[in-house]
Structure formats: C-alpha cells, structure tokens
C-alpha cells in the first residue's frame, strides 16, 4: 500500500513498493502528513490497530523501485503487468488485496502486479478511463491488452490472466 502524502504528487516522481509480491506506487516526495502516516501504519500492521478496526493486510517488507514515470515502468518490464487501479475507501478494492497476493504467488513467474491509487494519480485514471473500482488492466509490451472491472475470485482472475496471455503470445 502506498504512503499517503499531503501534497499532490506528479507522475514524474514515482517510487514502486513491492509488498508481498504486489507492487504499489507511491510518490517519492519526502513530505507526508504524520497523522496519515500513523493511520497507514495501523492499517498495515494489525498489532498497531485496535481490535475493532478491520484488518485487511499484514506488514511485510517492501522493496522500493523508482521509475521516471508509469510508461517507463511498463516499457521496461520483462513480464506482462497487471495494474490494479484502486482507492483506499473502496470496499471491493480492499477485498482484492488478499486475492491479488494469492494471484501474485501463483503467477509470479508470468506476471508482475502493480497497484495504483487513483486518488493520488488521477491523471493515470483519466488516461486509462477508469470509471469503476477496482479496475485491473493487463499490459503486454507496454500496451493494454485486457481490462477487468469489479472484484473477482483468485481462480477467476488467474484464469482470465492465463487466457489473455495465451491469446497475446
């Protein structure tokens, strides 16, 4: 999950966090709201949250990767890329977190999974006409080749990815 910032990020300064095999984009700006940062830590680490708070994700080590922009990341990827466009307030998007972790573990040699927060990167959401959340787009050779809107089970998503990759190979 990306760390929330208090300033509006630009797509020219993006860092990619690899969280449990799922990549999440975050602005590389060092300024952030401490209150939002604490909320994000509580969200990521169940030991810091109260028992009444829902627990969607556990804390895992993140690997930072920086790209000059989103298109650069797509162009330099050696594998096809599944981009999950989500928002932190979206319930179905939160339900997709463990599903994407399962898909990432099953298909780690076939596809890279990236998460984009549409609230932080509205220009990317506009560019790819994101109108429903979650929306997942599969990119191959830097170009979109399939699009899924709404939540799916892990088996449905794996089947969709494998079908798309077989057709495009």
List, by residue number, the catalytic residues: 90, 93
Residue carrying structure tokens 């969607």: 56
Give dist(CA 169, CA 161) in Å, integer. 12
Give dist(CA 148, CA 86) in Å, integer. 12
Cβ neighbours of residue 54 closer than 8 Å, sequence gap 6 or more:
none
DSSP for 51-63, please give it: TTS--------EE
Give dist(CA 42, CA 49) in Å, integer. 5
Cβ neighbours of residue 144 closer than 8 Å, sequence gap 6 or more:
128, 137, 138
């Amino acid at each position: 999950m990306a760390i929330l910032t208090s300033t509006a990020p630009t797509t020219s300064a993006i860092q990619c966090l690899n969280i449990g095999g799922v990549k999440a984009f975050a602005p590389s700006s060092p300024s952030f709201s401490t209150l939002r940062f604490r909320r994000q830590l509580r969200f990521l680490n169940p030991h810091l949250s109260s028992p009444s708070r829902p627990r969607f994700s556990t804390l895992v080590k993140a690997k930072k990767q920086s790209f000059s922009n989103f298109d650069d990341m797509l162009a330099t990827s050696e594998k096809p890329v599944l981009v999950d466009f989500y928002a932190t307030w979206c319930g179905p998007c939160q339900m997709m977190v463990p599903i994407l972790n399962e898909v990432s573990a099953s298909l780690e040699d076939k596809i890279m999974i990236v998460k984009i927060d549409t609230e932080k990167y509205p220009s990317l959401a506009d560019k790819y006409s994101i109108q429903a959340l979650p929306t997942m787009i599969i990119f191959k050779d830097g170009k979109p080749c399939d699009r899924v809107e709404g939540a799916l089970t892990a088996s449905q998503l794996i089947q969709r990815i494998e079908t798309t990759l077989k057709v495009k190979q």
